[in-house]
Amino acid sequence: EAGVVQSPRYKIIEKKQPVAFWCNPISGHNTLYWYLQNLGQGPELLIRYENEEAVDDSQLPKDRFSAERLKGVDSTLKIQPAELGDSAVYLCASSSRGGPGNTIYFGEGSWLTVV
Amino acid sequence: ELKVEQNPLFLSMQEGKNYTIYCNYSTTSDRLYWYRQDPGKSLESLFVLLSNGAVKQEGRLMASLDTKARLSTLHITAAVHDLSATYFCAVDADDKIIFGKGTRLHILP
């Protein structure tokens, strides 16, 4: 079974440019998360989806960040315009609510460097 | 606001020794996760603890949960170099999953 797939793995952009990350969760997982992880820190939740509905986006900086999960499967996270402080790893994760232990599975992450 | 604190943040230990990582959290929760992260890699699920008194073991790692004390422990028995990694606990409260800062574990051969 394929895990959570993210792309791109690495991205270097200049500040003020836009960037987008894509996530394909594990098949059948209705809950999808986007986390941000700074170097040496734990992941911080940006947004959580239940199917296509964003049920928790309280930590998403909405002035420059946006996300969507059309059809309740794949999701994209966009930053426009990017700032130097956005350099981090963006992790996508998914889980099946009601599944065994509700384990949350993480993708490999998208490493963003803003220069 | 839910806070999750891990202790210690850094740990260097000899192979063969035992040690415990602590995870304290500030609000009621009955679901706690432990993850492992290797440098440059994503998070690997180790344990999901679902109830008070839950104990799970996998190899040299054992995790426990005390919901009354709001404390989880990850115990390492007879450490080996392959266990060197960063370990995170994460707490689920009201469907908001909050991670600790992680414990960077370095096991010396």
Q: What is the pLDDT of residue B49?
A: 93
Q: Residue A31's closest chain B neighbor by CA?
A: B95
Q: How far apart are CA B49 and CA B62, in angstroms?
A: 11
Interface test with A, best of B23, B35, B41, B42 (most A CBs within 10 A): B42
CATH of the domain at A20: 2.60.40.10
Which contiguous run of DSSP H or E holds residue B20? strand B19-25
Strands B43-49, B96-99: pairing kind: unpaired
> How many domains does chain B contain in total?
1
Q: What is the pLDDT of residue A103?
A: 87
- pLDDT higher than 60, residue A99: no
Domain span including residue B88: 4-108
Q: How far apart are CA B41 and CA B45, in angstroms?
A: 12
Interface test with B, best of A106, A111, A113 (most B CBs within 10 A): A106
Provide the mean pLDDT of chain A. 93
Q: What is the pLDDT of residue B84?
A: 97
Q: What is the pLDDT of residue A98?
A: 60
- pLDDT higher than 80, residue B90: yes
CB contact under 8 A, B99 and A44: yes
Domain span including residue A72: 5-114
> How many domains does chain A contain in total?
1
CATH of the domain at B91: 2.60.40.10
Q: What are the tens digits of pLDDT across the range A56-90?
A: 998 999 999 999 998 889 999 999 999 999 999 99
Q: What are the tens digits of pLDDT across the range B18-72?
A: 999 999 999 888 789 999 999 988 899 999 998 888 899 999 999 999 999 999 9
